[in-house]
Amino acid sequence: MRNSFDIVIIGGGLVGLSLARSLAGSGLALALIEPRPSAPPPTGVNWESRVYALSPGSAALLQSCGAWQRLPPERIARVERMRVFGDDPGARIEFSAYDAGLRELAFIIENNRLHHALREAVREQELRMHCPAGWSTLEFHESHAAIGLEDGTALTARLVVGADGAESRVRKHAGIAVRAADYRQLGVVANFSCEKSHDDTAFQWFMRDGVLALLPLPGRRASMVWSIAEERGRRLLALPEPALADEVEAASGGVLGALQVITSARGFPLKLQRVTHFTRPRLALVGDAAHNVHPLAGQGVNLGFRDARALSKVLGERGPQGDCGDYALLRRYERARREDVLAMQAATDGLQKLFNNDAVLLSRVRNLGLTLVDRLPWLKSFLVHHAVA
Ligand SMILES: Cc1cc2nc3c(=O)[nH]c(=O)nc-3n(C[C@H](O)[C@H](O)[C@H](O)COP(=O)(O)OP(=O)(O)OC[C@H]3O[C@@H](n4cnc5c(N)ncnc54)[C@H](O)[C@@H]3O)c2cc1C
């Protein structure tokens, strides 16, 4: 059995799988290591509380990966409008796909459906899947990297890709430093059935103690992401479901009428992570292993898909005899991604700080900012076109 590969991807989450798919047909020998076995999503009407707002650019990547076509269309919601409210009455901004000349601003899709679609697509390509499997040793040499699996299998690769999420062991192993800032917030997620139609609109409220988003799901359903101070988040998680629904209904001003919980709440700790390097000789990081952002803009996995797209493009341009772990090549990937990632980290962190602040002057500035942007069509158009990439 072959144990030497061009690329070994460590981590089979959405970003690792999308990279594997983007490299199908490249002629590169690929392997992927993932500890968690994959299970098909449950049949029936269960809705997963972990959903993603995917940009049209991400949807196009998933289409080219052969994953989008595998998603059940009745589980995909299109976002045609977005209404964002500040914490002053009247401070609001509205984005519309129609005004921006787009068909939609985003798609909302459940994590388990998307993961399954990507796994099924990957099954069709030449790739050695080690799953469930873990690794115990990882050494970087001049000409290759050596990976020892927990079952004793030894693999070599010209390039290792760390796609193993925010707590990346690959990153730690390679000695890449991280600057982390704990937001001391939880991202509380849950799904609701709603009395009123959402009309394909995503709603977001920037409040003094957090950001509440209600994203449309197919039918009269909505998915909540409430980024909120840890203590209040824990209280929300402990509430009986009818009380949680009442609290969300009140916080959202009843825009969707009476709510009923259809998927129990879960909480995720939120932090910002900046890495010093995306690459080392024979190593590239992608997805949350390379950057972690506040979910208020719903951009984490979109950034990760753009990493996958950029890395596969750079690898595809390396020439017939090119070494895919060549550091100069990997630096091109890093340069291609730095600006987008830094801009998103700055924007999400800046917004989080601007609103998570009691100063009266800041309150005026942020609410005035929303109203002003709403009145500047060119700026709105610029923001929309950046967000859908
Ligand atoms: C509340 C919340 C809401 C969000 N909403 C959005 C949104 O609407 N839109 C959006 O774009 N983003 C959103 N995000 C961000 C998004 O969840 C992440 O950016 C995305 O999941 C990162 O994908 P990934 O594949 O890089 O990492 P992960 O999803 O963390 O996958 C990492 C994979 O690596 C595997 N792994 C872990 N350790 C090892 C190991 N030692 N060896 C091998 N494999 C390993 C794991 O099992 C996993 O399969 C949200 C985040 C939160 C917290």
User: Quick one: tokens of 53?
Assistant: 């707002």
The reported pLDDT for the residue numbered 370 is 67
Q: Higher confidence at residue 348 or residue 83?
A: 83
Query: Among 58, 130, 150, 164, which residue has the most ligand 1 atoms within 8 Å of its CB, making it the best to mutate?
Result: 164
What atom of ligand 1 comes closest to residue 14's alpha carbon? 25
Q: Which of 152-156, 293-297, 361-365 shows the highest mean pLDDT?
A: 152-156
pLDDT digits over 272-281, tens only?
999 999 999 9
Is the predicted pLDDT of residue 377 greater than 80, yes or no?
no
- The average pLDDT across 296-305 equals 91
The one-letter amino acid code at 209 reads: D
Output the residue whose Cα is nearest ligand 1's atom 39: 164
Q: End-to-end alpha-carbon separation of the chain, Å?
A: 41
pLDDT at 312 over 70: yes
Give the nearest ligand 1 atom to 303 CA: 11
Confidence of residue 91 (pLDDT cuts 50, 70, 90): confident
**Ligand 1 close to Cβ of residue 210 (< 6 A):** no
% of the chain residues with pLDDT over 70: 93
Q: Do 81 and 97 touch, CB atoms closer than 8 A? A: yes
> Which pLDDT belongs to residue 380?
64
Domain chopping of the chain, boundaries: 4-41+49-387
CA distance 87 to 363: 8
Q: Looking at residue 260, what is its pLDDT?
A: 98
Which of 22, 32, 36, 52 for a ligand 1 pocket mutation test, highest count of atoms within 8 Å of Cβ? 52
Centre a 10 Å sphere on the Cβ of residue 154 and count the other Cβ atoms it contains.
Answer: 11
Residue found by looking up tokens 């291609």 in the block: 336
* Residues ≥6 apart with Cβ < 8 Å to 303: 287, 291, 293, 340, 341, 344
pLDDT score recorded for residue 2: 78
**In angstroms, how far is CA 325 from the centroid of its own chain?**
26
* For residue 62, pLDDT beyond 80: yes
- pTM > 0.85: yes or no: yes
The 10 Å Cβ neighbour count of residue 24 is 17
Q: Whose CA is nearest to atom 3 of ligand 1?
A: 295
Q: What is the pLDDT of residues 182-240, one digit of tens each?
A: 999 999 999 999 999 999 999 999 888 889 999 999 999 999 999 999 999 999 999 99
- Establish whether residue 223 lines the binding site of ligand 1, counting it when its CB lies within 6 angstroms of any ligand atom: no
Q: What mean pLDDT comes out for the span 57-67? A: 97
Q: Are 270 and 285 in contact (CB under 8 A)?
A: no
Q: Residue 17 is encoded by which pair of tokens?
A: 């799988």
Considering the four listed CATH numbers 3.30.930.10, 3.90.230.10, 3.65.10.10, 3.50.50.60, the one that applies to the domain covering 4-41+49-387 is 3.50.50.60
Nearest CA among 47, 206, 190 for reference residue 113: 47
Amino acid 251: pLDDT: 96
pLDDT of residue 379: 63
Per residue in 180-191, pLDDT (tens digit) is: 999 999 999 999
Q: Ligand 1 centre and the CA of 336: distance in Å?
A: 21
